[in-house]
Amino acid sequence: MFNVVIVRYGEIGTKSRQTRRWFENILMNNIREALVSEGIEFKKIEARHGRVLVKTNRARESVEVLSRVFGIVSLSPAMEVDAEMEKINRTSLKLFRKMKRELGLERPRFRVTARRITKEFPLKSPEVQAKVGEYILENEESEVNLHEYDVEVGVELMEGRAYIYVEKVRGWGGLPIGTQGKVVALLSGGIDSPVAAFLMMKRGVEVIPVHIYMGEKTLEKVRKIWSQLKKYGYGGKGELIVIKPKEREKIIQKLKELKKEKYTCVFCKYMMVKHADRIAREFGAKGIVMGDSLGQVASQTLENMYIVSQATDLPIYRPLIGLDKEEIVEMAKRIGTFELSTLPEDEIPFIPKHPVIRGSWEEFKKIYRAVFEEEPRKREC
Amino acid sequence: MFNVVIVRYGEIGTKSRQTRRWFENILMNNIREALVSEGIEFKKIEARHGRVLVKTNRARESVEVLSRVFGIVSLSPAMEVDAEMEKINRTSLKLFRKMKRELGLERPRFRVTARRITKEFPLKSPEVQAKVGEYILENEESEVNLHEYDVEVGVELMEGRAYIYVEKVRGWGGLPIGTQGKVVALLSGGIDSPVAAFLMMKRGVEVIPVHIYMGEKTLEKVRKIWSQLKKYGYGGKGELIVIKPKEREKIIQKLKELKKEKYTCVFCKYMMVKHADRIAREFGAKGIVMGDSLGQVASQTLENMYIVSQATDLPIYRPLIGLDKEEIVEMAKRIGTFELSTLPEDEIPFIPKHPVIRGSWEEFKKIYRAVFEEEPRKREC
């Protein structure tokens, strides 16, 4: 029935002409990648007057997949026909009937919204709306209601063709992945870090996922989480990078000797960032993403984040910093990582009973010197 | 009619006993400060079994003010009476009637939700619910509906007293200001930076607002924005700090000579952070907040944020980094800064036509040396 998907994007439209072209191309590439990797056939993908058209007979499946491509604000499976009033009427009625059946309504309230994207069609938009509305009223039990409607019939007219649809599916918005460079995301297996990575991806960043090994169970879990996140990652190709930190035993041993176990978590995070920094350099990534939310747990104080931030001269992005746990959980559920984040993980034997809450950089430095016999890096000069 | 406000908090409840006591005290202080500064009289503020009770005859006004105190999840103006069944019944009926009148409903659907916070009351919660429900049904045209109700009558029983309410007003959640130390927030007059500052305040941070002077009109506007934000700032006392950067003329002049005007915005932001860094040190603040949202405008690329981040060794917090403009605007409207942010501001004559999109740190260094005859600070060691 449907033979095309109308893809609408938001922010890109506001950029300069040149930037817009570039954005559109990346968006079209990501759309192509998404459809190919899900095995959905299509005939053509083209940018047209501020929207992208995907010609395919599998429009509804395409919409499901493309709703996970960032940069897209909304999608409609549509029927493309010649821009002739009779064809427009008949197609509109057909789609209206389909919707009426699906909604199971006796007498649906509806409205018609027409737009001439290019102006060669002889009738103006309100006239098209009136004609289509009349035609539906004549042929189907229904009533027009412009404000409270069960069905909206959309008609977009451009270049001698008409695009008719009755559904508008919301996308995530954001920017197409690949428009904003790369960052390294630290994935721990918890609820927060996948949401943080997701939000950066949503803003067009290609994420390089790094996991610091804790055990097989946790690794298994993180792999599942990354598989889920990859469903939003068309346009980025990152495979999970797993690092087994050789220095861990030494650090834990030394902290015990010094009776500074309370610094374990801060130290651990500092080392994670150091590893992330190295990976970022290898891959040309321009920042590191972490799932910190201020004050959520002991390690997430301004003091401790100060120490951890010294491990790199790259900016650390913390998109969750201002959110409550409840808000983060809600987002995790929406993106499908929550369930996975609550799977069992390896117990960490060396978590101290009373982790330091307001760690001191001076003290941290002393411990670091004791462990490594060198100064800790402090945003290298 | 009401003589008490029940204040419920969320996350604090999950902390250790010791931390909780500390949080409660800060929350109570902030509540006190809010009421005093709004001239609302009260008799007592006390923490009781995981909630705070504010004894006051101006309960509804209090709720309006306290809904802007962070750390609070919900609030109810309530009537406190002795925990005797008859008194509970009569008070519940009174409040039910009041609500019925206000809603203008003939036959409201209602439910009663009772909770024994301490257990000395002889009846169990379901029994209290049944009794109160019956009493209302006997005396008022109404019907019970546990799932779809117009009115919920709440009864909380503790220590020989009953607290009865029919309204639950949502707070912002978050953590009480003062629990998480201080950060400097750069306020520009735009839509984004106030939202960023707000989100940090919401997580319990005291914000020190800094504005880099552009002209009187913009300053006026930023003063209004900060006045609005201060309505959420009970517990923090920051006055707006205005910095007139002496070096600006020199920089603009030199950039012109070098034909590197495209670096103006990056340079400008770098200098802002440098100033913020100095202020942070003076005030013992542990970070800097900025309103960056990735890819929103030319200066907000990973490359440019890398350069800007070098101006301080403090972490830069960017709570909006993962949000779309639309989401930021929506939040600005909710917190009441949007209108103010769209007031007119001084034109900035030196904004380049084509600002650099992917600034290079090497090139930036060269320009910096040309301007200041010294190396730029890069996260000082």
Q: Closest Cα to residue A27, out of A11, A38, A43, A39?
A: A11
Q: Which of A303, A315, A378 sits opposite B305 (nearest CB)?
A: A315
Q: Answer for the pair A181, A286: CB distance below 8 angstroms, yes or no.
A: yes
B317 touches chain A (CB under 8 A): yes
B200 to A294: CB separation less than 8 angstroms, yes or no: yes
Contacts of B310 in chain A (CB under 8 A): 313
Average pLDDT value for residue range B12-40: 87
Share of chain A above pLDDT 90, in %: 77
* Inter-chain residue contact A203 with B287, CB threshold 8 Å: no
Q: Quick one: average pLDDT of A62-87?
A: 97
- Which pLDDT belongs to residue B12? 67
* % helix, strand, coil for chain A, step of 5: 40, 20, 40
Quick one: pLDDT band at residue A381, thresholds 50, 70, 90?
very low
Q: Which of residues 39-98 of B touch A (CB under 8 A)?
A: none
- Report the DSSP beta bridge partners of residue B211: B242
Residues A6-25, mean pLDDT to the nearest whole number: 81
The reply to whether residue B315 touches residue A316, judged by beta carbons under 8 angstroms, is yes
User: With an 8 Å Cβ cutoff, is A220 touching chain B?
Assistant: no
Does the annotation place B336 within a ligand binding site?
A: no
What is the distance between the alpha carbons of residues B265 and B274, in angstroms, rounded to a whole number?
14
Cα A343 from Cα A217, distance rounded (Å): 9
B131 is in an annotated binding site: no
Q: Nearest Cα to A117, choosing from A173, A162, A172, A176?
A: A162
**C-alpha distances in Å from residue A189, one per residue of A192, A201, B315, B348:** 8, 18, 24, 47
Structure tokens at B32: 């006190």
Q: How far apart are CA A300 and CA A294, in angstroms?
A: 5
* Of A11-25, A258-272, A344-358, B140-154, minimum mean pLDDT range: A11-25
pLDDT at B298: 66
* A275-291 residue pLDDT tens: 999 999 999 999 999 99
CB atoms within 10 A of CB A375: 10
Nearest to A177, CA basis, from A156, A152, A197: A197
Q: Quote the crossing angle between the two packed helices A59-66 and A17-37, to the nearest 10°.
A: 110
Number of residues in chain B: 381
User: Can you say how many angstroms the Cα of residue B153 is from the centroid of all Cα atoms in its chain?
Assistant: 29
Contacts of B296 in chain A (CB under 8 A): 11
To the nearest whole angstrom, how far is the Cα of A287 from the nearest Cα of chain B?
A: 7
Number of continuous H segments (helices) and E segments (strands) in chain A: 12, 14
pLDDT at A13: 58
| ipTM of predicted assembly, 2 dp | 0.90
The answer for B 165-204 residues in CB contact with A (under 8 A) is 173-175, 179-183, 196, 198-200, 202-204
Axis crossing angle, helix A361-372 with helix A248-257, rounded to the nearest 10: 110
**B287 vs A contacts (CB less than 8 Å):** 302, 305-306
Q: Which residue has the higher pLDDT, B83 or B354?
A: B83
Confidence category of residue B183, pLDDT binned at 50, 70, 90: very high
Residue B207 has which token pair?
């914000």
Please check whether residue B301 touches A, CB under 8 A. Answer: yes
Q: Does B380 touch chain A (CB under 8 A)?
A: yes
Interior angle at CA B132, CA B131 and CA B137, nearest 5: 100
Beta strand spans in B32-181 (E): 44-48, 51-55, 72-82, 109-116, 143-144, 151-158, 161-165, 169-170
The reply to whether residue A322 touches residue B173, judged by beta carbons under 8 angstroms, is no
Q: How confident is the model at residue B379 (pLDDT cuts 50, 70, 90)?
A: low
Q: Does B284 touch chain A (CB under 8 A)?
A: no
A169-173 and A161-165: which strand pairing?
Answer: unpaired
Contact B294 A204 (CB under 8 A): yes
Q: Could you tell me the sign of the dihedral formed by the alpha carbons of A284, A9, A84, A108, in that order?
A: positive
Rg of chain A taking only CA atoms, in angstroms: 27
User: B315 — contact with chain A (CB < 8 Å)?
Assistant: yes
- A264-283 residues touching B, CB cutoff 8 A: none
pLDDT in the model for residue B354 = 83
Residue B356 and residue B362: Cα distance in Å, rounded? 14
Pairing of strands B182-186, B161-165: unpaired
Q: Which domains does chain B have, with CATH numbers?
A: 4-170 (3.30.2130.30), 182-372 (3.40.50.620)
Tell me whether residues B199 and A305 touch, CB distance under 8 A: no
Pick B306's closest partner by Cβ from A205, A302, A315. A315
The string of DSSP codes covering A264-279 is HHHHHHHHHHHHHHHH
Secondary structure (H, E, C), A183-248: EEEECCCCCHHHHHHHHHHHECCEEEEEEECCCHHHHHHHHHHHHHHHCCCCCCCCCCEEECCCCH
Confirm whether residue A35 is marked as ligand binding.
no
Residues with Cβ < 8 Å from B112, sequence gap 6 or more? B92, B128, B129, B132, B133, B136, B152, B153, B154, B155
Report CA dihedral (A59, A103, A83, A17) to the nearest 10 degrees.
-60
Residue A369's pLDDT band, with cuts at 50, 70 and 90, is confident
Q: How many CB atoms within 10 Å of residue B18?
A: 8
Q: Decide: B173 and B195 in contact? Cβ < 8 Å.
A: no
Between the alpha carbon of residue B293 and those of residues A232, A302, B315, B321, B327, the distances in Å are 20, 21, 16, 4, 11
* Inter-residue contact A136 to A95 (CB < 8 Å): no
| In contact, B67 and B79? CB cutoff 8 Å | no
Comparing B179-193, B227-241, B302-316, the range with the smallest average pLDDT is: B227-241
| Residues of A in Cβ contact (< 8 Å) with B199 | 321-323
Residues in chain B with CB shorter than 8 Å from the CB of A293 are 203
Q: What is the pLDDT of residue B172?
A: 95
A214: region left, alpha or beta (phi > 0 left; psi from -120 to 50 alpha): alpha
Task: Report how far residue B189's alpha carbon sits from residue B305's, in angstroms, rounded to the nearest whole number.
Answer: 20
Q: Does B316 touch chain A (CB under 8 A)?
A: yes
Strand (E) or helix (H) holding B268: helix B264-283
Q: Could you tell me the two tokens for B275? A: 């100033």
> Phi then psi for B216, rounded to 5 degrees?
-65, -40
The pLDDT score that the predictor gives to residue B13 is 57
Asked if the C-beta of A111 comes within 8 angstroms of chain B's C-beta atoms, the answer is no
Q: Say whether A182 sits in a helix, a strand or coil.
A: strand
Average pLDDT value for chain A: 93
> How does strand A161-165 pair with strand A72-82?
antiparallel
Residues B30-64: tens digit of each pLDDT: 999 999 999 999 999 999 998 999 999 999 999 99
Residue B73 clears pLDDT 90, i.e. is over it: yes
* Residue A337 pLDDT grade (very low, low, confident, very high; cuts 50, 70, 90): very high
- Encode burial over A21-31: b for 16+ CB neighbours within 10 A, e otherwise: eebbebbbbbb
A151 touches chain B (CB under 8 A): no
Please indicate whether, in this complex, the C-beta atoms of B175 and A295 are within 8 angstroms of each other. Answer: yes
The pLDDT assigned to B381 comes to 37
